Amino acid sequence: MFNIIERPTFTRTVKVRVPKDDGVDEQDFKATFNAMDDDAFNGLGMMDIEGTKEFLRQAVVSLDDLTGADGKPIPYSEEIREAVFKLAYARVALMGAFHNGMMGALPGN
């Protein structure tokens, strides 16, 4: 049976490859997303940075397991959300987690 839910949400671990020295530091946090239908996607261009940020503003409900440089937890807020969205490597990781959550892992990946 397929249940139609108007606005389901889902939570995924977002794996971020943060550039560091001559490599990357692999970090992660949790993101809760809105499962979006075609109407929600319509008009959201993701071909540039601002379009991607606007898409993420619509898709992301909350971010969890975030810490500051001192290792102390940082509560979610719009200000923190925008700080995360400014980071290209975080946007790429969020987009990947969203698409994986919406479509599942593709065969062979």
Contact 102, 38 (CB under 8 A): no
pTM to 2 decimals? 0.85
Q: Answer yes or no: is 4 within a domain.
A: no
Total of domains in the chain: 1
CB atoms inside a 10 Å sphere around CB 1? 2
Predicted confidence pLDDT, tens digits, the chain (109 residues): 777 767 789 999 999 999 999 999 999 999 999 998 777 777 667 678 998 999 999 999 999 999 998 999 999 999 999 999 999 999 999 999 999 998 875 555 5
Q: Answer yes or no: is 49 within a domain.
A: yes
Contact 104, 96 (CB under 8 A): no
CB atoms inside a 10 Å sphere around CB 59? 23
Q: Answer yes or no: is 36 within a domain.
A: yes
Q: Answer yes or no: is 86 within a domain.
A: yes
Contact 10, 33 (CB under 8 A): yes
The range of the structural domain enclosing residue 70 comes to 9-103
Q: Answer yes or no: is 96 within a domain.
A: yes
Q: Answer yes or no: is 87 within a domain.
A: yes
